[in-house]
C-alpha cells in the first residue's frame, strides 16, 4: 500500500518548520529594536503548532462518519461562533474577528472553513442518498448554507476569509450531482451583482483593489506593501541573499511580513531556487491529497477531502498571487507557513481528518 498519509504528514511538517524559520527571521529584528525577546512570535507559533497536534490527534482518531450524523449541529455551532465574535470579540485594526482566551487570540472565521466543509459534506451526502438527480431547490438550499457564513464573515469584516469560505462552498457544490447549468446561472448572477458587492466593501478594501491595478498610484499608502514585496522578491535573484540577510525584511520595510507576506522573505533570502522549493512542497501537498481523494469510494469522505484540498489550494494560490502583485491584497495567510495561529490549528485539524478518512474509509485501488 502506498503510504500517502505518511508522505502528506511529512510535507506538512516540513512546511511548518519553514514557517518557524521565517517567522523568527521576519520578526526578530523588530522585536530586538523594541527591547523584547526575539522569540516572541516564534514561541506563539510553536504553541499553536502543539495545540494543532492535539486537534490533529482528535480528528485523526474520532471516527469520521460521526460528523455525517451531526452536521446540522456543526453548522449551528459555526454560525454561533461567527455571530458571537461580532458582539463580544476583540477589535483590532478596525475588524472584530478575534476572541481573546487566556491571552490567546482565537479567530472563529478560520475555524469556519473546516466546520463549513464538514457540514456541507453531511448535507450533500444526505441529498445524494435521497435523490439521484439534484435540482434547483437543492442547489438554492446548498447555496444558502454557503452564503450565510459568507455574509457574517464579511460583516466582521474579513474579506479574505469570506472569499475562501464562499469559493470552497461553491467548489463543493460543483463536486455534487447538481446540474452544471445552475452554476452558469450563478456566474451570470454574480456578474450582475458585482456593482452591489463593490458598494458593501469597506473603503480600505476598495482602495486595495484599485491599487492592485497600479500600485504606483499610491506608493506610500495602499500600494506600499505590494511594492516592497516585489522589491524583496526581485532582489533575491536566483539563490537569494542568505537567511537573515534580507534588506527589505530586516529594515522592516514590509508591514506585517510575518503573516500574509511571509513568502516575500523567502524570495528575498532564499531566492528563486528557495521559492521554487516551497512551491514544490505545496505541489506535493496537493498531489498527495488529490491521490487520497481519488482513492476514496465513500461520498462523505470524498466531499470532505475535496473541500479541504480546494481550501488549501485556493489559499496558497491567492497568497502567492497577492505577494507577487498579481491579485489584490485580501488578507489570506499562506497555509502552514504564515504566522496565523488559528489557521495553523485549523489546518492540522483538517490534516487529521484527511488521515482518518484515508485510513478508515473505503478505498479503491489506484
Nearest partner of 110 among 302, 357, 335, judged by Cα: 335
Distance from chain centroid for Cα 262: 14
CA atoms of 8 and 214, how far apart (whole Å): 39
In 3D space, the residue among 314, 302, 308 whose CA is nearest the CA of residue 349 turns out to be 308
Whether a cis peptide bond, with omega within 30° of 0, leads into 157 is yes
pLDDT in tens, 231-256: 999 998 999 998 888 888 888 888 88
Angstrom distance (rounded) from CA 74 to CA 122: 10
Could you please report the per-residue DSSP string of 145-197? Answer: HHHHHHHHHHHTT-HHHHHHHHHHHHHHHHHTTB-HHHHHHHHHHHHHHHHHH
Q: What residues does 90 pair with on adjacent strands? A: 98
What are the structural domain ranges in the chain?
Answer: 1-69+214-366, 71-201
- Neighbouring CB atoms inside 10 A of 326's CB total 12
CA atoms of 311 and 350, how far apart (whole Å): 10
For residue 272, the surrounding DSSP H or E stretch is: helix 262-295
**Cα distance between residue 5 and residue 352, in whole Å:** 10
Q: Is the CB of residue 153 less than 8 Å from the CB of residue 165?
A: yes
Confidence (pLDDT) at 102 = 67
What's the confidence (pLDDT) of residue 1?
40
Q: Residues 304, 305, 310, CA angle at the centre, nearest 5°? A: 100
CB 104 within 8 A of CB 341: yes
For residue 96, what pLDDT is reported? Answer: 56
Tell me how crowded residue 339 is: count the other CB atoms within 10 A of its CB.
26
pLDDT digits (tens, 9 = 90+) for 153-188: 988 888 899 999 999 999 998 888 777 777 777 778
CA dist., res. 25 & res. 22, Å (int): 5
Best CA proximity match to 52, nearest among 279, 342, 280, 298: 342
Which of 289-315 are b and which e, b meaning 16 or more Cβ less than 10 Å from the residue's Cβ?
Answer: beebbebbebbbbbbbbbbbbbbbbbb
Residue 73 CB partners (closer than 8 Å, separation 6+): none
- Segment 272-296, tens digit of pLDDT: 999 999 999 999 999 999 999 999 9
- DSSP secondary structure string, 303-319? HHHHHHHHHHHHHHHHH
* Alpha carbon separation from 65 to 60, 70, 111, 141, 354 (Å, rounded): 12, 9, 20, 23, 12
CA dist 280 → 10, 266, 308 (Å): 14, 14, 19
pLDDT at 126: 87
pLDDT value of residue 256: 82
10 Å CB burial of residue 333 (0-12, 13-18, 19+) is buried
For the chain, residues with pLDDT lower than 50 are 1, 365-366
Amino acid at each position: 500500500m502506498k503510504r500517502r498519509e505518511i508522505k502528506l504528514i511529512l510535507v506538512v511538517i516540513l512546511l511548518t518548520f519553514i514557517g518557524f524559520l521565517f517567522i523568527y527571521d521576519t520578526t526578530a529584528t523588530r522585536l530586538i529594536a523594541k527591547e523584547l525577546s526575539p522569540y516572541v512570535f516564534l514561541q506563539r507559533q510553536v504553541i499553536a503548532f502543539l495545540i494543532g497536534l492535539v486537534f490533529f490527534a482528535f480528528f485523526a482518531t474520532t471516527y469520521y462518519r460521526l460528523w455525517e450524523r451531526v452536521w446540522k449541529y456543526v453548522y449551528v455551532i459555526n454560525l454561533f461562533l461567527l455571530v458571537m465574535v461580532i458582539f463580544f470579540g476583540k477589535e483590532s485594526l478596525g475588524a472584530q474577528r478575534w476572541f481573546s482566551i487566556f491571552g490567546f487570540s482565537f479567530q472563529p472565521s478560520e475555524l469556519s472553513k473546516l466546520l463549513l466543509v464538514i457540514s456541507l459534506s453531511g448535507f450533500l451526502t444526505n441529498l445524494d442518498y435521497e435523490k439521484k438527480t439534484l435540482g434547483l431547490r437543492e442547489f438554492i438550499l446548498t447555496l444558502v448554507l454557503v452564503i450565510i457564513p459568507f455574509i457574517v464573515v464579511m460583516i466582521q469584516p474579513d474579506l479574505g476569509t469570506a472569499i475562501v469560505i464562499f469559493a470552497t462552498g461553491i467548489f463543493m457544490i460543483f463536486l455534487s450531482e447538481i446540474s452544471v447549468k445552475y452554476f452558469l446561472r450563478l456566474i451570470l448572477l454574480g456578474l450582475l451583482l458585482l456593482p452591489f458587492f463593490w458598494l458593501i466593501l469597506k473603503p480600505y478594501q476598495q482602495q486595495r483593489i484599485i491599487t492592485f491595478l497600479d500600485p504606483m498610484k499610491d506608493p506610500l499608502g495602499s500600494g506600499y506593501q505590494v511594492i516592497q514585496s516585489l522589491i524583496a522578491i526581485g532582489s533575491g535573484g536566483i539563490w537569494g541573499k542568505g537567511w537573515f540577510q534580507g534588506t527589505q525584511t530586516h529594515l522592516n520595510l514590509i508591514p506585517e511580513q510575518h503573516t500574509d507576506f511571509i513568502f516575500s522573505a523567502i524570495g528575498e533570502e532564499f531566492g528563486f531556487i528557495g521559492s521554487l522549493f516551497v512551491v514544490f512542497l505545496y505541489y506535493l501537498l496537493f498531489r498527495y491529497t488529490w491521490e487520497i481523494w481519488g482513492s476514496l469510494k465513500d461520498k462523505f469522505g470524498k466531499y470532505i477531502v475535496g473541500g479541504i484540498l480546494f481550501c488549501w489550494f485556493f489559499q496558497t494560490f491567492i497568497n502567492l498571487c497577492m505577494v507577487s502583485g498579481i491579485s489584490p491584497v485580501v488578507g489570506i495567510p499562506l497555509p502552514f507557513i504564515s504566522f496565523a495561529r488559528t489557521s495553523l490549528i485549523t489546518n492540522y485539524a483538517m490534516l487529521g481528518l484527511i488521515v482518518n478518512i484515508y485510513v478508515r474509509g473505503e478505498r479503491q485501488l489506484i
